[in-house]
Structure 1
């Protein structure tokens, strides 16, 4: 068994035993390798973001949270190449760029032979044009969306006017190469779109955000005769037009 296959097998062995921990000695016996190799493999899993943890003392050992990982997904070579290429196109300013980068590394590590070489070559031929978005602001937006909390932000619109407000994030919109935070603005009492590269400061609060329908927020600033789409997938072109993309400056409006 090569090392890549063994790493995946280790994860599945820990998942099968969860929440009961397994000792290094038991894992070494299971895979017929040394305890030193097991320790090194477990450290590698930790370094790549796999939620494995160790519990010291009698009855302790290594375990994994099954809720935090996915079972093995068997991609074809073409599917793995497509995912690797798509993730390679994620720029540093894209929301969840860090997670996308580690996901790409895991996919690439799981591939061997010609398929791996083809995927890496394809990814190397994709260039993402960088955009200006502060990493701390992006992280704050990600945290607010993930934990469903209100976000305190400062925003500068196209005319250079800066406003401060608290918003309740609902989702993200990408249009014409830009990313927008779609949120309920407590100041305007309406749905608003905020271009991420025009947010000058953002801090998650400890206030829980109320649930808002993303479609309703996207359509909140459209003309009265706007046609409500039947699915969110078909909403993107209409929503971009509704918010005035590429300007999308309703975030700073009344």
Structure 2
């Protein structure tokens, strides 16, 4: 069993017995690895957002927080792989790491048979990358956090005319255009909405200040951009 399969198996096992505990020694024996390896696996799962907690003591162990776990999901293998493909193709989009975390949680909540079928199907779907493909520029985590919590950003920015400036902005939305991702924000220096191409941001600082809540409709972009179509959650 490789590490990825072992991580999924550990989550599924803890989910099945929750709220009871499973010791690191028991998990190590079940998966044929050392206790130290299990501890590293648990730490990796916790860092990725899986709600595993440790109960220390002689009878302690690990458990999955029942209120934070999902019941078995009736996702088909094709549905799970469709989500994986969408996440892989949107690797430079907002909250890409959160998408990977969500997919891991979905697989962990699926039945073992369905999850195995999804992994087998995923192995038969590949994304080809030619030599001309340009590696996508990931959205800075500071921008994601700013949009999520409406936090003011301090930017060092190089505009299309080559002018360099430092300014503070209140984030409004993320837009996608022909030149990649843009941050639509209210520029406090100009006191008007502006689009900032993410690949032109040379330095960025996330401040503790919360900006004014504004909608896209309230802010007409100063620089033409094709807005990404509305994202639907069903």
- Same fold, judged at TM 0.5 (above): yes
Give the superposition deviation at 1:66: 6.1
CA deviation string 1:25-56 (max 9, x = no partner): 5x99xxxxx35347666753541421322243
Matched, 1:77 2:80: no
Aligned with 2:183 (options 154, 157, 181): 181
Residue number in structure 2 paired with 1:62: 62
Residue of structure 2 equivalent to 1:10: 14
TM, length-normalised to structure 2: 0.68
Q: 2:217 matched to which residue of 1?
A: 215
Q: Distance in 2 between matches of 1:70 and 1:157?
A: 46
Shift of 1:146: 2.9
**Secondary structure of 2:162 counterpart:** coil
Residue of structure 1 in register with 2:167 after alignment: 165
User: Which of 41, 57, 74 is the aligned partner of 1:44?
Assistant: 41
| Structure 2 gaps, min length 5 | 227-234
Residue 10 to residue 216, structure 1, CA distance change in 2 (3 Å): same
Q: State the Cα deviation string for residues 212-234 of structure 1 (Å, max 9, x = none).
A: 223322xx24xxxxxxxxxxxxx
Alpha-carbon RMSD across the aligned residues, in angstroms, is: 3.6
Counterpart Cα distance in 1 of 2:179 and 2:81 = 23
Aligned counterparts of 1:85 and 1:132: Cα–Cα separation in 2: 18
Change (3 A) 1:209 1:171: same
Alignment of 1:75-114 (within 5 A): 75-91=75-91, 93-103=92-102, 111-113=115-117
Question: Are the equivalent residues in 1 in contact too, given 2:169–2:185 (CA < 8 A)?
Answer: yes
Name 2:229's counterpart in structure 1: none
Q: TM-score, with normalisation over the residues of structure 1?
A: 0.64
- Indicate the residue corresponding to 1:122 in structure 2: 125
1:7 offset after TM fit, Å?
A: 2.6
Give the paired residue count: 206
Q: Where does the alignment leave 5 or more consecutive residues of structure 1 unmatched?
A: 29-33, 222-241, 247-254
Kindly indicate whether the alpha-carbon contact (under 8 Å) linking 2:52 and 2:65 is maintained by their aligned counterparts in 1. Answer: yes
Contact kept, 8 Å, 1:184 with 1:190, in 2: the verdict is: yes
What pairs up with 1:199-210 in 2 under 5 angstroms? 199-210=201-212
1:24 to 22, 25, 45: 22
Whether the aligned pair in 1 keeps the contact of 2:15 and 2:69 (CA below 8 Å) is: no
Residues 59 and 165 of structure 1: CA distance in aligned 2, closer, same or farther (over 3 Å): farther
Q: Secondary structure at the match of 1:145?
A: helix
Distance apart, 1:95 and its partner CA: 3.0
| Per-residue deviation, 1:194 | 1.0
